[in-house]
Chain A
Amino acid sequence: MNRFARLIDGLVFTPSRNGKVRLLQDWFATVPDPDRGWALAALTDGLSFAGAKPGVIRTLVLDRVDPVLFGWSYDYVGDLAETVSLIWPARPGPNAPPTLSDVVDALRAAGRSPRVPAMIAGWLDALEPSGRYALIKLITGAMRVGMSARLTKTALAEWGGRSVDEVEEVWHALEPPYADLFAWLEGRGPRPAADGRAGFRPPMLAHPLEDADIAALDPTAYRAEWKWDGIRVQVAAAAGEARLYSRTGDDIGGAFPEVVERVAFEAVLDGELLVVHDGRVAPFNDLQQRLNRKRPTAKQLREFPAQVRLYDILFDGADDIRPLPFDARRARLEAWFDRVRPAGMDLSPLVPFAGWDALAALRAGARDGAIEGLMLKRADSAYVAGRPKGPWFKWKRGPLTVDCVLMYAQRGHGKRSSFYSDYTFGTWRGDELVPVGKAYFGFTDEELARIDRWVRNNTTNRFGPVREVSPGLVFEVAFDSVHRSPRHKSGVAMRFPRIGRIRWDKPAGEADRLETLERMIVA
């Protein structure tokens, strides 16, 4: 576990991508099976143990640490595994630190046994903070150590002299600790079989389109679709197996069982995962509730039901139709949809348009919060992995903006906990400021540091982690829409406010008035 902890620390602290890749390749080359494979699993799909969940860790630490102090510490550090690793009371004793395989074997054998918490506590006692961090990350199945699954696979493929797409094609047929995969990459064994499995096909991605660039495109060569504010997914079903993948190939089926369970066909489909209530797409926030969990609760399934809105088809049965042009694939998608009538799915409609001006008007008129803008896809484009320049564009709707004055600043969480990075801002009503929204900072570290300094130098009052500041700093705040809200003192609430620009140049007195915001309210 100590060697694995050194790998994790290295991946966390090494700033360069190449440095991280070298560390991983060194791990694959020098650590024997099965430990190297357990680490690979931890860094890609994640390992899952029935009896070791974040709740167990939390219970263990709360038995040992004052819950109030733990709460403040967690709030400050922002990550459960790290908080526990740091706050766990050291208990020097005769315990030898476990190896990676010790931990995996013991947890697999134990299943849901009531002994699991005591086993974990014993390991935490025997390890130092780095080892505790690695252990908790490993067993709770969420490494997130600045190394994506994709980059891990890239490092692995490069080390084995293969392309990452070759690894990707066989990946989903493999099980940790991947002895057959390592054997193949080291030239000691055959290529593992991938055929017939519901594997991930790298998706086709779009380039952003600026308003100014559209004139250069031929409107008759493109088809338009709404761009939905959900997450891009791939539904892959073959050989009686169904999987739901994120854009990067992470299997997220566990978080959305209702989608996977309703699959009764064989195809690979491209679409948008959305939370939908009575035919209306819910705000992205609702989807976020689901994304944050490995498995949903029954209540979440009820309150935030997910579905897939389809816009492309890659495989119809075993038939690979990616080489067909967009129009032909669209016809196949519609025919397939009519034939199969898949539960929990609908079709994203094509948006007919007469020319760019007409399309721009449609885009500007779309006030549905679930529409982020438009997708433009060339009628003759084949489905190609990656982000080719030209065939697909995303044309986002410009947000509404208003100039607001910073009123309160709060220390952020986790990596932002040293900075005042959460802001409450207001607009003028008469000569008083009324708060209209709250947003996190979304800019570069230098800008964040500059705002932070400004906050510290213009503080008029402090309440715990919050500072009240004198009116003097103007933010251009972008938002999707604004609604009446009796719950807010200002009577209005913004949807998805984010700080667009910092207006160092603008005097606070010239920021917008509440009436401006009220005029933007959607009935």
Chain B
Amino acid sequence: MQTAFESWIHPAPPSEGGGLRVVPGGFHIDPIRPVDRAVITHGHADHARPGNASVLATPETLAIMRERYGAAAGATLQPSPYGETLRIGDVTVRLVPAGHVLGSAQVVIEHRGQRVVVSGDYKRRADPTCAPFEVVPCDLFVSEATFGLPVFRHPPADREVARLLDSVRLFPDRAQLVGVYALGKCQRVIRLLREAGWDAPIFLHGALGGLCGLYERLGVPLGPLVPATGLPRDAFKGQIVLAPPSATADRWARRLPDPVVGAASGWMRVRQRARQRGVELPMIVSDHADWDELIDTVRDVGCGTLWVTHGREEALCHVAAGMGIEARALALVGFDEEGQGETADDPGAGDAA
């Protein structure tokens, strides 16, 4: 006889730390307020918050948290590489790749014969900057649904990057300014450009340098990168400049010659979203699963129960119910439905859509 999952894993109210609480393990996954023991899926600011007493995460995620929060990353940091099985209280815990950003992990928890996978944010496409998503069959799958509507279908990322290179050729006297989130999207776009043959230096806004350096130290080569400061305007002609999305419409961008403003995000699939942000070159490049990936994943893991943490929960629940899966929207507070961080104007804090 199976007991209900809720008896041992459930959403915690924000006043008690938020995120998902695993009772027999004594920890929270991605808490929104400091707790004694946190397991963190990945480094985006709406999942990894500072101030927890002890933190378990992949070595890469811990490195990202240290880069961002310094000593506030956590009093005790416990790295757990992908695949390692740990016993915590009355559960076992294993981190496996989620394919979202460098170090991103799904948390696989087993307790009294039940297996739960908390996937954090994920995608199924190839990404040259991180390990690919691993399918782990489970009883309960906990999923995001940032792009949980059938209008969201991401085209191949290399095609979108090719459009950027076309624009460079079309406007040799203008700069190409692309809005990218600091963690993940930035490095992925750089790697995609390198794979498409763009060997020239890529210019970076100051908020992007730190994490690019960290990626390189963690074994992701990015090629020549140059800070976009202290250079004459003409130096940017025909060049590619990356900046946090908030900086592309900012005074910061005035240093560039008549920039073609682009943005790399899954939201760029919807015209009004692109127009609203003044984007002339929308690039549909996302680190989140699109509609088909969400449904494929729910099918692939073969779960009997699905919980949806954040995003457009209702559509994914509707489809899962049609597949005979018991589906529930958790409507967790604190996660960003837009996949871009609660503080979209803080260049370092954004989650990558």
Q: Which residues of A contact B (CB under 8 A)?
A: 12-15, 65-66, 68-70, 72-73, 76-79, 82-83, 86-87, 90, 129, 133, 146, 414-418, 445, 449, 453, 456-457, 459, 462, 464
Contacts and interface: CB of A to CB of B under 8 A. Distances in A.
B151 A146 contact: no
Given A14-B280, A68-B318, 4 more contacts: A68-B315, A76-B312, A77-B270, A417-B272
Contact of A445 (B150, B272, B276): B276
Q: Kindly list the 10 A-B residue pairs having the minimum CB-CB distance in the complex, ordered from nearest.
A: A415-B272, A86-B151, A73-B151, A462-B331, A415-B276, A73-B149, A87-B150, A414-B272, A13-B280, A87-B151
Contact of B318 (A13, A69, A417): A69
B333 interface: yes
B169 interface: no
Interface string B267-301: 10111111110111110000000000000000000
Nearest to A448: B276
Interface of B: 149-153, 261, 267, 269-276, 278-282, 312, 314-315, 318-319, 331, 333, 336, 338, 342-345
B150 A13 contact: no
Contacts of B275: 12-13, 146, 415
Given A415-B275, A453-B342, A464 B151 contact: no
B311 to A, nearest CB: 12
10 contacts: A14-B280, A15-B261, A69-B150, A70-B150, A76-B151, A77-B272, A417-B272, A417-B273, A456-B336, A456-B342
Nearest to B267: A418
A413 to B, nearest CB: 9
A417 B152 CA distance: 14
Given A83-B151, A87-B151, A456-B342, A72 B276 contact: no
Contacts of A449: 344-345
Nearest to A460: B333
A146 B278 CA distance: 13
A464 B312 CA distance: 9
B331 A72 contact: no
A462 B279 CA distance: 31
A416 B276 CA distance: 8
Interface of A is mostly: helix
A453 B275 CA distance: 20
Contacts of A464: 314
A295 to B, nearest CB: 27
B131 to A, nearest CB: 29
A133 B272 CA distance: 13
A72 B151 CA distance: 10
B273 A86 contact: no
Contacts of B280: 13-15
B285 to A, nearest CB: 16
Given A12-B271, A69-B319, A76 B149 contact: yes
A86 B270 contact: yes
Nearest to B148: A72
Nearest to B281: A13
A167 to B, nearest CB: 28
Contacts of A87: 150-151
Nearest to A415: B272
Contacts of B319: 66, 69
A464 B318 CA distance: 14
Q: Which residue among A73, A418, A449, A459 has the maximum number of chain B CB atoms within 10 Å of its CB?
A: A418
Contacts of B271: 12-13, 79, 82, 133
A69 B272 contact: no
B149 A82 contact: no
A78 B149 contact: no
Given A76-B149, A456-B342, A13 B272 contact: no
A12 B318 CA distance: 33
Q: Which of B275, B276, B318 has the largest count of A CB atoms less than 10 A from its CB? A: B276
Contacts of B331: 462
A457 B273 CA distance: 22
B151 A65 contact: no
Nearest to B262: A13
Contacts of A445: 276
A73 B267 CA distance: 13
Given A15-B280, A418-B338, A462-B333, A69 B270 contact: no
B260 to A, nearest CB: 10
Nearest to A89: B150
A73 B151 CA distance: 7
Given A65-B150, A453-B343, A462-B333, A78 B315 contact: no
Contacts of A72: 149, 312, 314-315
A78 B272 contact: yes
A314 B344 CA distance: 54
A365 B153 CA distance: 57
Nearest to B343: A453
A82 B333 contact: no
Contacts of A68: 315, 318
A82 B344 CA distance: 26
Contacts of A82: 270-272
Contacts of B344: 449, 453
Contacts of A457: 342
Contacts of B278: 15
Contacts of B272: 77-79, 82, 414-415, 417
A384 to B, nearest CB: 35
Contacts of A14: 280
A456 to B, nearest CB: 6
Contacts of A12: 271, 275
A388 B26 CA distance: 74
A418 B149 contact: no
